[in-house]
């Protein structure tokens, strides 16, 4: 065999061995980043919403009419289901005789 061929084959084999060794050698193992849970924060409870509308109460529809606020629609101050006889959302409606 040729001397150059043996040298070339030896260098090629050692290079292949070195590359394989480097490729399969485990490197540094990266650690997963530390996850820190946020500390518990205490939050004050929310206050109940305050109804800003004035409280108005009429015992009868005659009282609402005397105050000049009849008819009273649902959602308006002074409306209550007891004053809305037909349940249509309007209390103290003017009487329409038949």
pLDDT, one tens digit per residue, over 34-67 is 888 878 878 878 877 766 666 889 999 999 999 9
> Cα–Cα distance between 8 and 48 in angstroms, integer?
88
Q: What is the pLDDT of residues 58-98, one digit of tens each?
A: 999 999 999 999 999 999 999 999 999 899 999 999 876 55
> How many Å apart are CA 23 and CA 26, to the nearest integer?
8
Break the chain into its structural domains and give their ranges.
53-98
In this prediction, residue 33 carries a pLDDT of 81
* Residues β-bridged to residue 91: 72
């Amino acid at each position: 065999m040729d001397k150059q061929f043996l040298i070339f084959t030896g260098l090629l084999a050692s290079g292949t061995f070195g590359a394989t060794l480097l490729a399969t050698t485990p490197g540094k193992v990266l650690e997963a980043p530390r996850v820190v849970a946020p500390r518990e924060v205490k939050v004050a409870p929310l206050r109940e919403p305050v109804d800003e509308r004035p409280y108005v109460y009429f015992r009868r529809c005659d009282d609402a009419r005397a105050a000049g606020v009849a008819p009273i629609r649902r959602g308006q101050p002074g409306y209550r289901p007891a004053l809305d006889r037909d349940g249509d959302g309007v209390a103290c409606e003017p009487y329409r005789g038949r």
